[in-house]
Amino acid sequence: MKNYVITIARGSGSGGRAIGQMLAKELNISFYDRDLLKLASDESGINESLFAKADEKPNHSLLYNVAKKVYKGQIIPPDRDDFISNENLFNYQAKIIKELAQKESCVIVGRCADFVLKDFDNVLRIFVHAPLEDCIQTVEDMGICSGKQTKNYVQTIDKRRAAYYHYFTGNDWKSADNYDLCLNTSHLNREQCIQLVKSYLKIKFGIDH
């Protein structure tokens, strides 16, 4: 296999982003998270701040909306009024994700990458999660917030990610059907997660690191 991609969807406070960073370092491959926003901005000419504003954050109406904008790969041209719509911002990120998957091995966090790359056969799709109590403790340990605010913070982030995912994919963000491997970090430390992913890579792709 010329190259492979690991996509990571993650619950707030589950440690998914940190695991992605550790994986990329361990495997000596690129890591993409918010870097995708700059790449999409450079590709489209749309200000990066607009990508950041919409990044995995559906507007209020989307939280209660059915999936109406399931991604199909189209890019809206600059002469259209909806060129800088949330849908087109997503389309450009998806375009970058596909280009990366075609040319290099990498880890991609979030942005519905598992769905965007659903037709690619070189992708390992991972979901990282943990019980709410553990996620709350992790967020508090990180100093993001504390006390009663922490539970609300974790639940709000996950609600937004679920709504964003459903809006652009039509699927349930937490459904195991979307992923090859689900990792519960309340039972596995980060090093064990890395070893599991490496074992899965060997089984699925014959890649031995």
Q: List domains and CATH numbers for the chain.
A: 5-203 (3.40.50.300)
Which segments of the chain have a pLDDT < 70?
Answer: 1, 56-69, 76-77, 82, 84
Whole-angstrom Cα distance, residue 209 to residue 207?
A: 7
Are 106 and 29 in contact by the 8 Å Cβ rule? The answer is yes
- Dump strand ranges (E) for 11-57: 30-32
Q: What is the pLDDT of residue 103?
A: 95
Q: What is the pLDDT of residue 51?
A: 81
**pTM of the entire structure?**
0.90
The pLDDT tens digits for 179-196 are: 999 999 999 999 999 999
Whole-angstrom Cα distance, residue 15 to residue 61?
A: 29
> What is the 8-class DSSP label of residue 188?
S
